[in-house]
Chain A
């Protein structure tokens, strides 16, 4: 891989877009690639728009800030599209030719006709995944939605390996090395309490990832 891959994750505050980006970036770094990860959010918190950006490349990455021209867009909640809870309008603004969109929704959304036309012009591939439902069914909590979204991503394209993702997950929740912001730390503790043991948490989340990778379906429009 010589090309830089730019991934934009759009979701709502509390859904774990920042953590998903962190884990994906760490996994890419584990594999010896260069990666930068950064979030974008306002002063508001839960259910407000939150985005994070992952850049992965074999070369040094200089570019900073939000990703304006993504290769892959991951939509963590239908409201990003239907309520415009997004930093870009339309939600796929800047998507590169042959780009990929993965949407967390139990069923395909009623996208506007001109949006579908633009996506067709870009030759974009559109995927849907019931990520929250999978997180509840397999992981036992909707807090694993971000993990099933990562599973959906791996189901579509192997930007990182499962092993690297597992290592990154273990580093994020297992090691004492990481310090999150106060809010994220509180959520982490809630999660840890839920699974009691970190090892279980990691295995359970990897199960979510692996199951989710099978449930992502392409939508022909």
Chain B
């Protein structure tokens, strides 16, 4: 283990970087090495297993105080909640069927205002079963109340995980952050990643930054669990529950400025004034970049919008971009087209939105598929 010193977050984020040729899973390990994480809990599922295996190696090296394998994903996500309530910075990861197995826990995290950071290595979950990349689980996660970031590359994955702790732990935010990444296309792909020196780490989590009573000797768990709203049927109980849900949504809204601070805008654009816009998230952005280069070399007016934050959703930005475009194409790696739905929910004129192309079941999306849509939109 390398002796580490605590530095202010900007010092770590803006430190001189070394370029490493590593997989997405290894990029997760390098983020956690520098994140001053106290506890990590794992349960294996492809394509996530390597990430938490490598986090386990950090425990063996002494970077993490506690690490164990849970009984299953539901147990892991519940244990992680306990760790966060106990006041430690905690990390875990899952993906695909694991995400659904643990599903109840995510809304619980948000409702309990726990600043957990969890990576989701997405994979197919439909029957027939597949281990290959597919982002359909993100459709289910949209309304759990957690912040959702979608990484395009191993660099994004590394940066988003490391910086998510800073976003999640703000007193006025203090809800979980899910960093989503397309399994295999990023987790198992070796690419160049710029990484800060290993002798730096983030400041520790301050449990008293929590906007809800912290479990300590004054507020023992018994006191937190006593008289829960579920045991009362009265006006105060109902209205407290309703207003609490609004407060969790408001916390996600308040996260916008911290996402701006630590990760830049919620979207990134190239040629935003073009006639045809490709709007995507995750590795669908990478395929769109290839398609855009092809299209522009053939003289088509094509631009690109990468959505980094799915929750909160960049509503105003997308509404304006769609307003100014002649056509919008939304390539996705899932069957249902959840991103196209999101975009349609904020656009004024939904008729110009092409909800596709979509690839699911694990194959890559040939840039030619996107190119075909560009040609169709140009007629």
Binding site for B on A (CB under 8 A): 22, 25-26, 29, 34-40, 42-43, 61-66, 68, 179, 181-182
Contacts and interface: CB of A to CB of B under 8 A. Distances in A.
A179 B46 CA distance: 17
A61 B192 CA distance: 10
Contacts of B188: 38-39
Contact of B185 (A29, A35, A38, A181): A38
B51 to A, nearest CB: 11
B189 A37 contact: yes
Secondary structure dominating the interface of B: mixed
B185 A64 contact: yes
A39 B53 CA distance: 18
Contact of B190 (A38, A63, A66): A38
B130 to A, nearest CB: 8
B144 to A, nearest CB: 27
A65 B188 CA distance: 10
B57 A179 contact: yes
B45 to A, nearest CB: 11
Contacts of A37: 189-190
A26 B21 contact: yes
Nearest to A180: B50
30 contacts: A25-B21, A25-B190, A29-B21, A35-B21, A35-B190, A36-B189, A36-B190, A36-B191, A39-B184, A42-B131, A43-B46, A62-B286, A62-B287, A62-B289, A63-B364, A63-B367, A64-B283, A64-B286, A64-B287, A65-B133, A65-B184, A65-B185, A65-B283, A65-B363, A65-B364, A65-B365, A68-B366, A179-B29, A179-B54, A181-B49
Contact of A34 (B192, B286, B367): B192
Across the A-B interface, give the 6 residue pairs with the lowest CB-CB distance, nearest first. Answer: A65-B364, A38-B189, A37-B190, A62-B289, A64-B185, A62-B286
B372 interface: no
Contact of A63 (B49, B192, B286): B286
Given A29-B21, A63-B287, A68-B364, A182 B53 contact: yes
A35 B191 CA distance: 7
B192 A29 contact: yes
Given A64-B283, A65-B283, A66-B364, A181 B50 contact: yes
Nearest to A53: B189
A172 B192 CA distance: 16
Given A63-B287, A64-B186, A179-B54, 10 more contacts: A29-B21, A36-B189, A36-B190, A38-B184, A38-B188, A38-B190, A64-B286, A66-B363, A66-B364, A179-B57
A181 B366 CA distance: 29
Interface string B120-156: 0000000000010100000000000000000000000
A26 to B, nearest CB: 6
B290 interface: yes
Contacts of B283: 64-65
Nearest to B26: A179
Nearest to A181: B50
A44 to B, nearest CB: 10
Contacts of A42: 131
Interface string B172-186: 000000000010111
Nearest to B44: A182
Contacts of B290: 62-63
B128 to A, nearest CB: 12
A148 to B, nearest CB: 22
Contacts of B367: 63
A61 B190 CA distance: 12
Contact of A64 (B49, B57, B131, B189): B189
Contacts of A35: 21, 190
A40 B184 contact: yes
Interface in B17-36: 21, 26, 29
A43 B290 CA distance: 30
Contacts of B184: 38-40, 65
A25 B189 CA distance: 11
A27 B70 CA distance: 39
B160 to A, nearest CB: 17
A51 to B, nearest CB: 12
B184 to A, nearest CB: 7
A171 to B, nearest CB: 9
B190 A22 contact: yes
B131 A43 contact: yes
Nearest to B284: A64
Contacts of B189: 36-38, 64
A65 B183 CA distance: 10
Contacts of A36: 189-191
Contacts of B366: 68
A188 B26 CA distance: 18
Contacts of A34: 192
A38 B182 CA distance: 13
Interface string B359-370: 000011111000
